[in-house]
Amino acid sequence: MFRLALKMLYGDRAKYLMLICGLSFCSLLMTQQSSVFCGLMLWTTATLRNVQAPVWVADAKVEQVNEAVPLRDVEVERVKSVPGVQWAVPLYWNIVQARLPEGSFQLVQLTGLDGASLVGRPGKMRVGRVEDLRLPGAVIVDQVAVAKFLKKGIQLRVGSTFEMNDREARVVGICETQRSFLGQPYVYTTYSRALEFAPPQRKQLSFVLVQPAPGHTPAEVAARISQLRGLRALTEREFFEETIWWYVKNTGIPISFGTVVILGVVVGVAVAGQTFYLFVHENLRFMAALKAMGARTSTLAGMVLLQALTVGFIGYGLGVGLAAWFGNAVLKGGEPPFYLPWQVLAFTGGIILFICCFSAAIGMLKILRAEPAMVFK
Protein backbone atom coordinates (compact mmCIF):
# COMPACT_ATOMS: atom_id res chain seq x y z
CA MET A 1 0.00 0.00 0.00
CA PHE A 2 2.79 2.43 0.84
CA ARG A 3 4.57 1.60 -2.42
CA LEU A 4 1.33 2.40 -4.19
CA ALA A 5 1.18 5.73 -2.36
CA LEU A 6 4.64 6.65 -3.66
CA LYS A 7 3.68 5.61 -7.21
CA MET A 8 0.65 7.89 -7.00
CA LEU A 9 2.91 10.72 -5.81
CA TYR A 10 5.56 10.26 -8.48
CA GLY A 11 2.92 9.74 -11.14
CA ASP A 12 1.63 13.31 -10.92
CA ARG A 13 4.90 14.96 -11.99
CA ALA A 14 3.58 18.52 -12.09
CA LYS A 15 2.27 18.62 -8.53
CA TYR A 16 5.19 16.54 -7.26
CA LEU A 17 7.69 19.05 -8.63
CA MET A 18 5.60 21.97 -7.38
CA LEU A 19 5.61 20.54 -3.88
CA ILE A 20 9.37 19.96 -4.00
CA CYS A 21 10.05 23.49 -5.28
CA GLY A 22 7.76 25.12 -2.71
CA LEU A 23 9.27 23.26 0.25
CA SER A 24 12.82 23.74 -1.07
CA PHE A 25 12.29 27.48 -1.35
CA CYS A 26 10.81 27.60 2.15
CA SER A 27 13.70 25.60 3.58
CA LEU A 28 16.30 27.68 1.71
CA LEU A 29 14.80 30.97 2.86
CA MET A 30 14.57 29.98 6.52
CA THR A 31 18.02 28.36 6.66
CA GLN A 32 19.81 31.13 4.79
CA GLN A 33 18.24 34.00 6.72
CA SER A 34 18.65 32.27 10.08
CA SER A 35 22.31 31.53 9.31
CA VAL A 36 23.01 35.12 8.27
CA PHE A 37 21.35 36.30 11.49
CA CYS A 38 23.52 33.92 13.55
CA GLY A 39 26.61 35.09 11.68
CA LEU A 40 25.72 38.72 12.34
CA MET A 41 25.30 38.01 16.04
CA LEU A 42 28.74 36.35 16.06
CA TRP A 43 30.19 39.50 14.53
CA THR A 44 28.97 41.46 17.56
CA THR A 45 31.21 39.32 19.81
CA ALA A 46 34.33 39.51 17.61
CA THR A 47 36.38 41.33 20.26
CA LEU A 48 35.71 38.57 22.79
CA ARG A 49 36.87 35.92 20.33
CA ASN A 50 39.87 37.90 19.09
CA VAL A 51 41.04 38.85 22.59
CA GLN A 52 40.38 35.76 24.66
CA ALA A 53 40.39 35.86 28.47
CA PRO A 54 38.53 33.79 31.11
CA VAL A 55 37.19 36.86 32.97
CA TRP A 56 36.51 40.39 31.70
CA VAL A 57 36.25 43.33 34.10
CA ALA A 58 34.53 46.51 32.95
CA ASP A 59 32.71 49.53 34.30
CA ALA A 60 29.57 48.62 36.22
CA LYS A 61 27.35 50.23 33.55
CA VAL A 62 28.79 48.34 30.58
CA GLU A 63 26.18 46.06 28.98
CA GLN A 64 28.04 44.65 25.97
CA VAL A 65 31.60 44.31 24.77
CA ASN A 66 31.43 46.98 22.05
CA GLU A 67 30.80 49.79 24.55
CA ALA A 68 33.94 50.43 26.57
CA VAL A 69 33.52 52.91 29.42
CA PRO A 70 36.98 54.16 30.48
CA LEU A 71 38.31 53.08 33.86
CA ARG A 72 41.13 54.35 36.08
CA ASP A 73 44.45 52.55 35.72
CA VAL A 74 44.37 51.85 39.47
CA GLU A 75 41.51 49.39 38.85
CA VAL A 76 44.06 46.84 37.65
CA GLU A 77 45.69 46.79 41.10
CA ARG A 78 42.31 46.60 42.81
CA VAL A 79 41.41 43.56 40.75
CA LYS A 80 44.77 41.92 41.48
CA SER A 81 44.04 42.18 45.20
CA VAL A 82 40.89 40.04 44.93
CA PRO A 83 41.36 36.48 46.31
CA GLY A 84 41.48 33.87 43.53
CA VAL A 85 43.03 36.15 40.89
CA GLN A 86 46.23 34.71 39.44
CA TRP A 87 46.97 37.74 37.27
CA ALA A 88 45.19 40.77 35.87
CA VAL A 89 46.33 42.87 32.90
CA PRO A 90 45.00 46.04 31.26
CA LEU A 91 43.40 46.15 27.82
CA TYR A 92 42.81 49.22 25.68
CA TRP A 93 40.09 49.02 23.01
CA ASN A 94 38.61 51.90 21.08
CA ILE A 95 37.82 53.18 17.60
CA VAL A 96 40.52 55.59 16.41
CA GLN A 97 41.34 57.25 13.12
CA ALA A 98 44.35 56.15 11.10
CA ARG A 99 45.85 58.54 8.54
CA LEU A 100 47.13 56.78 5.45
CA PRO A 101 50.31 57.85 3.61
CA GLU A 102 48.40 59.35 0.68
CA GLY A 103 46.31 61.50 3.04
CA SER A 104 43.03 59.58 3.36
CA PHE A 105 41.65 58.24 6.66
CA GLN A 106 40.51 54.86 7.90
CA LEU A 107 38.81 54.05 11.20
CA VAL A 108 40.43 51.13 13.03
CA GLN A 109 39.76 49.22 16.23
CA LEU A 110 42.88 49.90 18.24
CA THR A 111 43.63 47.11 20.71
CA GLY A 112 46.36 47.67 23.29
CA LEU A 113 47.78 44.55 24.97
CA ASP A 114 49.83 44.27 28.15
CA GLY A 115 53.41 44.80 27.00
CA ALA A 116 54.94 42.21 29.32
CA SER A 117 52.63 39.22 28.77
CA LEU A 118 50.92 40.19 25.46
CA VAL A 119 47.73 38.57 26.80
CA GLY A 120 45.00 38.80 24.16
CA ARG A 121 47.46 38.47 21.28
CA PRO A 122 46.22 37.47 17.81
CA GLY A 123 45.57 33.76 17.53
CA LYS A 124 46.94 33.28 14.01
CA MET A 125 49.71 35.20 12.31
CA ARG A 126 50.05 35.33 8.54
CA VAL A 127 53.30 37.26 8.53
CA GLY A 128 55.65 38.34 11.33
CA ARG A 129 55.85 37.56 15.05
CA VAL A 130 53.67 38.79 17.91
CA GLU A 131 56.76 39.45 20.02
CA ASP A 132 57.78 42.21 17.58
CA LEU A 133 55.01 44.36 19.08
CA ARG A 134 57.57 45.39 21.69
CA LEU A 135 59.58 47.21 19.03
CA PRO A 136 59.23 51.03 18.84
CA GLY A 137 56.05 52.14 17.06
CA ALA A 138 55.10 48.55 16.21
CA VAL A 139 51.58 47.44 15.32
CA ILE A 140 50.03 44.27 13.92
CA VAL A 141 47.13 44.63 11.47
CA ASP A 142 44.55 42.05 10.42
CA GLN A 143 43.38 40.81 7.02
CA VAL A 144 40.52 43.32 7.01
CA ALA A 145 43.00 46.18 7.24
CA VAL A 146 44.97 44.77 4.31
CA ALA A 147 41.79 44.59 2.19
CA LYS A 148 40.53 48.07 3.16
CA PHE A 149 43.90 49.73 2.63
CA LEU A 150 44.23 47.96 -0.72
CA LYS A 151 40.95 49.55 -1.86
CA LYS A 152 42.59 52.91 -1.19
CA GLY A 153 45.57 51.93 -3.32
CA ILE A 154 47.92 51.01 -0.45
CA GLN A 155 49.57 47.59 -0.20
CA LEU A 156 50.07 46.86 3.51
CA ARG A 157 53.07 44.69 4.26
CA VAL A 158 55.67 44.34 7.01
CA GLY A 159 57.47 47.66 7.14
CA SER A 160 54.52 49.78 5.93
CA THR A 161 53.70 52.86 7.99
CA PHE A 162 50.68 55.02 8.75
CA GLU A 163 49.77 57.55 11.44
CA MET A 164 47.46 57.57 14.43
CA ASN A 165 47.16 60.71 16.53
CA ASP A 166 50.10 62.22 14.57
CA ARG A 167 52.35 59.33 15.65
CA GLU A 168 53.88 56.89 13.22
CA ALA A 169 52.80 53.24 13.40
CA ARG A 170 54.98 50.64 11.71
CA VAL A 171 53.50 47.30 10.65
CA VAL A 172 55.51 44.37 12.03
CA GLY A 173 52.98 41.62 11.28
CA ILE A 174 49.69 40.65 9.67
CA CYS A 175 47.24 38.43 11.53
CA GLU A 176 43.85 36.83 11.01
CA THR A 177 40.93 37.92 13.16
CA GLN A 178 37.20 37.34 13.36
CA ARG A 179 35.29 40.06 11.51
CA SER A 180 33.66 42.68 13.65
CA PHE A 181 30.08 43.94 13.65
CA LEU A 182 31.49 47.47 13.39
CA GLY A 183 33.28 46.49 10.18
CA GLN A 184 36.58 48.19 11.05
CA PRO A 185 39.96 46.41 11.00
CA TYR A 186 41.80 45.45 14.18
CA VAL A 187 45.17 47.05 14.91
CA TYR A 188 47.15 45.48 17.77
CA THR A 189 49.88 47.20 19.75
CA THR A 190 51.06 47.37 23.37
CA TYR A 191 48.93 49.06 26.01
CA SER A 192 51.35 51.91 26.68
CA ARG A 193 51.72 52.64 22.97
CA ALA A 194 47.96 52.46 22.43
CA LEU A 195 47.59 55.34 24.92
CA GLU A 196 49.94 57.37 22.71
CA PHE A 197 48.02 56.51 19.54
CA ALA A 198 44.65 57.28 21.13
CA PRO A 199 43.23 60.77 21.72
CA PRO A 200 44.25 61.89 25.25
CA GLN A 201 41.69 61.76 28.05
CA ARG A 202 41.75 61.40 31.82
CA LYS A 203 40.72 57.74 31.98
CA GLN A 204 41.76 55.37 29.17
CA LEU A 205 41.66 51.80 30.55
CA SER A 206 38.92 49.87 28.70
CA PHE A 207 38.91 46.42 30.31
CA VAL A 208 40.87 44.33 32.76
CA LEU A 209 41.57 40.75 31.68
CA VAL A 210 41.77 38.25 34.53
CA GLN A 211 43.06 34.71 34.91
CA PRO A 212 41.65 32.77 37.91
CA ALA A 213 44.15 31.05 40.16
CA PRO A 214 44.23 27.22 40.19
CA GLY A 215 41.33 25.87 42.21
CA HIS A 216 39.08 28.85 41.45
CA THR A 217 36.47 28.93 38.70
CA PRO A 218 35.99 31.97 36.43
CA ALA A 219 32.43 32.41 37.72
CA GLU A 220 33.62 32.40 41.33
CA VAL A 221 36.35 34.97 40.68
CA ALA A 222 33.98 37.15 38.61
CA ALA A 223 31.47 37.21 41.47
CA ARG A 224 34.15 38.39 43.91
CA ILE A 225 35.44 41.12 41.58
CA SER A 226 31.88 42.37 40.99
CA GLN A 227 31.68 43.21 44.67
CA LEU A 228 34.23 45.98 44.11
CA ARG A 229 32.55 49.36 43.80
CA GLY A 230 32.12 50.61 40.24
CA LEU A 231 33.25 47.37 38.58
CA ARG A 232 31.48 44.52 36.88
CA ALA A 233 33.15 41.19 36.09
CA LEU A 234 31.83 38.63 33.65
CA THR A 235 33.11 35.32 32.43
CA GLU A 236 33.84 35.14 28.73
CA ARG A 237 30.69 33.05 28.17
CA GLU A 238 28.49 35.46 30.16
CA PHE A 239 29.86 38.47 28.28
CA PHE A 240 29.29 36.63 24.99
CA GLU A 241 25.65 35.91 25.80
CA GLU A 242 24.92 39.36 27.21
CA THR A 243 26.37 41.04 24.12
CA ILE A 244 24.19 38.98 21.78
CA TRP A 245 21.06 39.56 23.86
CA TRP A 246 21.79 43.29 23.98
CA TYR A 247 21.72 43.46 20.18
CA VAL A 248 18.62 41.27 20.05
CA LYS A 249 16.74 43.54 22.46
CA ASN A 250 18.02 46.94 21.33
CA THR A 251 18.24 46.68 17.55
CA GLY A 252 15.82 45.88 14.74
CA ILE A 253 17.94 43.01 13.44
CA PRO A 254 15.75 40.18 14.86
CA ILE A 255 12.59 41.80 13.49
CA SER A 256 14.10 42.18 10.01
CA PHE A 257 15.29 38.60 9.75
CA GLY A 258 12.28 37.22 11.61
CA THR A 259 9.92 38.82 9.10
CA VAL A 260 11.67 37.05 6.22
CA VAL A 261 11.60 33.72 8.07
CA ILE A 262 7.88 34.09 8.79
CA LEU A 263 7.34 34.91 5.13
CA GLY A 264 9.09 31.67 4.22
CA VAL A 265 6.82 29.71 6.55
CA VAL A 266 3.69 31.36 5.11
CA VAL A 267 4.81 30.63 1.55
CA GLY A 268 5.58 27.03 2.46
CA VAL A 269 2.22 26.48 4.14
CA ALA A 270 0.29 28.16 1.34
CA VAL A 271 2.05 26.44 -1.57
CA ALA A 272 2.44 23.01 0.00
CA GLY A 273 -1.00 22.98 1.61
CA GLN A 274 -2.87 24.05 -1.49
CA THR A 275 -0.89 21.83 -3.85
CA PHE A 276 -1.22 18.79 -1.63
CA TYR A 277 -4.93 19.39 -1.22
CA LEU A 278 -5.34 19.42 -5.01
CA PHE A 279 -3.21 16.30 -5.27
CA VAL A 280 -5.39 14.41 -2.78
CA HIS A 281 -8.56 15.75 -4.37
CA GLU A 282 -7.56 14.46 -7.80
CA ASN A 283 -6.62 11.07 -6.38
CA LEU A 284 -9.66 10.82 -4.12
CA ARG A 285 -11.39 8.30 -6.38
CA PHE A 286 -8.43 5.93 -6.04
CA MET A 287 -8.49 6.29 -2.26
CA ALA A 288 -12.24 5.62 -2.30
CA ALA A 289 -11.63 2.49 -4.37
CA LEU A 290 -9.11 1.24 -1.83
CA LYS A 291 -11.59 2.04 0.93
CA ALA A 292 -14.27 0.05 -0.91
CA MET A 293 -11.88 -2.91 -1.16
CA GLY A 294 -11.44 -2.93 2.63
CA ALA A 295 -8.47 -0.66 3.27
CA ARG A 296 -8.58 0.83 6.74
CA THR A 297 -8.82 4.55 7.27
CA SER A 298 -5.58 4.45 9.28
CA THR A 299 -3.81 2.82 6.32
CA LEU A 300 -5.07 5.49 3.93
CA ALA A 301 -4.03 8.20 6.39
CA GLY A 302 -0.58 6.62 6.60
CA MET A 303 -0.32 6.70 2.81
CA VAL A 304 -1.13 10.42 2.73
CA LEU A 305 1.34 11.12 5.55
CA LEU A 306 4.06 9.16 3.73
CA GLN A 307 3.49 11.22 0.59
CA ALA A 308 3.72 14.47 2.54
CA LEU A 309 6.85 13.41 4.46
CA THR A 310 8.54 12.23 1.26
CA VAL A 311 8.23 15.59 -0.48
CA GLY A 312 9.12 17.32 2.81
CA PHE A 313 12.33 15.29 3.23
CA ILE A 314 13.42 15.94 -0.36
CA GLY A 315 12.50 19.65 -0.19
CA TYR A 316 14.30 20.05 3.14
CA GLY A 317 17.45 18.40 1.81
CA LEU A 318 17.52 20.53 -1.33
CA GLY A 319 16.84 23.76 0.56
CA VAL A 320 19.47 23.15 3.23
CA GLY A 321 21.95 22.03 0.59
CA LEU A 322 21.47 25.24 -1.39
CA ALA A 323 21.81 27.32 1.79
CA ALA A 324 25.05 25.51 2.70
CA TRP A 325 26.37 26.09 -0.82
CA PHE A 326 25.53 29.79 -0.50
CA GLY A 327 27.28 29.94 2.87
CA ASN A 328 30.39 28.22 1.54
CA ALA A 329 30.52 30.72 -1.34
CA VAL A 330 30.11 33.86 0.79
CA LEU A 331 32.53 32.70 3.50
CA LYS A 332 35.34 32.88 0.96
CA GLY A 333 34.65 36.57 0.54
CA GLY A 334 33.88 37.19 4.20
CA GLU A 335 30.57 38.95 3.59
CA PRO A 336 27.72 38.69 4.38
CA PRO A 337 28.14 36.89 7.71
CA PHE A 338 27.09 33.25 7.68
CA TYR A 339 27.03 30.72 10.51
CA LEU A 340 25.05 27.48 10.25
CA PRO A 341 24.78 25.75 13.66
CA TRP A 342 22.80 22.56 14.19
CA GLN A 343 20.07 24.55 15.90
CA VAL A 344 19.22 26.25 12.60
CA LEU A 345 18.97 22.89 10.86
CA ALA A 346 16.73 21.59 13.64
CA PHE A 347 14.56 24.72 13.48
CA THR A 348 14.16 24.47 9.71
CA GLY A 349 13.48 20.74 9.94
CA GLY A 350 10.80 21.31 12.56
CA ILE A 351 9.05 23.93 10.44
CA ILE A 352 9.14 21.70 7.36
CA LEU A 353 7.76 18.83 9.43
CA PHE A 354 4.94 21.07 10.63
CA ILE A 355 4.13 22.12 7.06
CA CYS A 356 4.08 18.47 5.94
CA CYS A 357 1.85 17.38 8.82
CA PHE A 358 -0.48 20.33 8.21
CA SER A 359 -0.72 19.50 4.51
CA ALA A 360 -1.27 15.81 5.28
CA ALA A 361 -4.01 16.71 7.79
CA ILE A 362 -5.89 18.59 5.09
CA GLY A 363 -5.68 15.56 2.81
CA MET A 364 -6.72 13.20 5.60
CA LEU A 365 -9.88 15.20 6.27
CA LYS A 366 -10.80 14.87 2.62
CA ILE A 367 -10.28 11.10 2.75
CA LEU A 368 -12.22 10.69 5.99
CA ARG A 369 -15.23 12.35 4.39
CA ALA A 370 -14.97 10.31 1.23
CA GLU A 371 -17.63 7.59 0.77
CA PRO A 372 -16.54 4.26 -0.77
CA ALA A 373 -19.57 4.41 -3.06
CA MET A 374 -18.23 7.46 -4.88
CA VAL A 375 -15.96 5.19 -6.91
CA PHE A 376 -19.11 3.93 -8.70
CA LYS A 377 -20.34 7.41 -9.60
pLDDT, position 84: 93
Do 85 and 220 meet the contact criterion of CB atoms below 8 Å apart? no
pLDDT in tens, 266-324: 877 777 777 777 766 666 666 656 565 655 666 767 777 777 788 888 889 999 999 98
- SS3 of the chain: CHHHHHHHHHHCHHHHHHHHHHHHHHHHHHHHHHHHHHHHHHHHCHHHHHCCCCEEEEECCCCCCCCCCCECCCHHHHHHCCCCEEEEEEEEEEEEEEECCCCCEEEEEEEEECCCCCCCCCCEEEEECHHHHHCCCEEEEEHHHHHHHHHCCCCCCCCCEEEECCEEEEEEEEEECCCCCCCCCEEEEEHHHHHHHCCCCCCCECEEEEEECCCCCHHHHHHHHCCCCCEEEEEHHHHHHHHHHHHHHHCCHHHHHHHHHHHHHHHHHHHHHHHHHHHHHHCHHHHHHHHHCCCCHHHHHHHHHHHHHHHHHHHHHHHHHHHHHHHHHHHHHCCCCCCCCHHHHHHHHHHHHHHHHHHHHHHHHHHHCCCHHHHHC
Do 181 and 153 meet the contact criterion of CB atoms below 8 Å apart? no
pLDDT, position 182: 82
pLDDT, position 221: 94
pLDDT, position 329: 81
Domain limits, the chain: 2-43+253-376, 61-229
pLDDT, position 246: 93
pLDDT, position 151: 85
Please name the residues in contact with 285: beta carbons below 8 A apart, sequence gap of 6 or more.
374, 375
Which residues in the chain come in under a pLDDT of 50?
Answer: 375-376
pLDDT, position 6: 62
pLDDT, position 222: 94
- Evaluate if pTM is beyond 0.95: no
pLDDT, position 152: 83
pLDDT, position 1: 56
pLDDT, position 287: 62
